[in-house]
Structure 1
């Protein structure tokens, strides 16, 4: 069943000095996501440069600005993604992975998966492929408590593993790290979804199973059939909605995602 979503984003920051900004807030056009409307408006005295997102998915926008920086994004998207059961997928050995997938098997800044290999081997002994992926997703959902008290922009999957609490990016980082530790390629996805509480940019995971990427929201707040992906990457470093090469102070930020039937 097709899910139609309306996405509204308003950003307002103050930049003390002129600097470059990398924005990643536009819904990606893919075979599972059809854009009926997508309009990004940025107030800047400089030209805006659009470049492809990681792995050719989505679009990044380079902006240069100073003083009051404002951006507005509006989109109407139809998501047509079939439901999947992770447990039904087979395992792919590392040697059988496509070249472009191999990077997502390796540790990254916020996903030090090599530090979790021992835990995965002990806790999930005997599992592989989709059965392993399903068990990892269930474990993260059951073990973590959603909350922003013990998390920050520098929190890694190891920190989340120890604290057992976090926000959506922490859930995604931990699931991605555990999957990589289990020899399942995994990447983070910036996304929009209805029902996210509090309403905000959302982060989920994709696991490589049986020759394709499978979308998983370990927080349980969003159904994969209602998620509109923006960009993908190794971890939050790659998928941040806004990266400022300078200093910025938040004035106002609002994200609204609504089902349209």
Structure 2
């Protein structure tokens, strides 16, 4: 299914600065960028980069003097989603994980899985399969954490969210990741464009590594699982920020949009309590 995505970022630069921007749709085996355009001021040096794993796409801007800048991105993206039954998927032991998966078992800056081990073990440890555990984690977060815009900040961690019981999509994702890792289930942060999100914005959720696949989960339940266009995956938000600013920089505009652009009717996919089917990585 096809989506048209766009982003606009604006900044007031008060001194020579560098910005690292992360708004490009990823090119993966299940996400094809059909076309895209990027607009930046011509007098600013711009460099396209990828992370060490060769997947996440970044743009580095060097701004030599004070000014006001605008960055605009537009893309047409074709996504493939696969619905699979995870009831009978074989569990993969840690000893068989690929090296690229292993870092997603460890605690990270915003996902202190080591501090949440007792909570995860006591609440979800006796549940049958790993998929059912992650589903239960997602369901528990949705019921026990209030979605409250503006309540948290860039320093809020998964441990804080358990205590405060409120947050935004970023916090819901960090808590899901931390609880998964505490149960020895690899999990990673996901940021992207979101169809039907109101108000329109970038969105965060998480993926868990189950049966050899990265499976998507969203504890906020604000949008359909198949309404996402992936921008980046990482250990947590520290590695996948939409914008990292180095210098005297003040954000002035942050806009994101995701519109359905396929000829076939959109059929939303959600998890239900009675059916343990999963949407695989894309």
Answer whether TM exceeds 0.5 for this pair.
Answer: yes
Q: Deviations over 1:47-83 (max 9, x none)?
A: 2111113532231111111421210000111111113
- SS of the equivalent of 2:118 reads helix
Decide which of 17, 20, 25 is 1:19's aligned counterpart: 17
1:106-159 CA distances to partner (integer Å, 9 max, x unpaired)?
Answer: 000011111111011111132241121111111112222111242001100011
Match of 1:30 in 2: 28
- In structure 2, the partner of 1:46 is 44
Q: Answer whether contact 2:106 2:113 (CA < 8 A) is retained.
A: yes
Alignment correspondent of 2:184:
183
**Equivalent pair of 1:82/1:225 in contact (CA under 8 Å):** no
Alpha-carbon shift at residue 87 of structure 1 (Å): 5.3
1:165-204 matches, cutoff 5 A: 165-204=166-205
Could you say which residue in structure 1 is the equivalent of 2:140?
139
Q: 1:239 to 1:157 in 2, by over 3 A?
A: same
Aligned-partner Cα distance in 2 for 1:23–1:59: 9
Residue in 2 aligned with 1:244?
245
Counterparts of 2:235 and 2:207, CA distance in 1: 10
| 1:228 matches 2:229 | yes
Question: 1:150–1:163: 8 Å Cα contact kept in structure 2?
Answer: no
- Deviations 1:7-41 (Å, cap 9, x if unpaired)? 12111110111111111100001121121211121
CA RMSD, 1 decimal: 1.6
Q: Structure 1: any 5+ residue segments left out of the alignment?
A: none
Asked if 1:68 corresponds to 2:68, the answer is yes
CA distance in 2 between partners of 1:106 and 1:11 (Å): 33
Give the number of equivalent residue pairs: 259
Q: Secondary structure at the match of 2:40?
A: strand
> If the length of structure 2 is used for normalisation, what is the TM-score?
0.87
Structure 1 residues 107 and 145: alpha-carbon distance in aligned structure 2, compared to 1, 3 A threshold:
same
Q: CA deviation at 1:85?
A: 5.2
Residue 155 of structure 1 is matched in structure 2 by 156
Could you tell me which residue of structure 1 aligns to residue 116 of structure 2?
116
Cross-structure match for 1:99: 99
Q: Per-residue CA shift, 1:135-193, capped at 9, x if unaligned?
A: 11111122221112420011000111111111111111000001001100001011111
TM (norm. structure 1) is 0.93
**Which structure 2 segments of 5+ residues have no match?**
263-282
Alpha-carbon distance in 2 for matches of 1:243, 1:195: 27
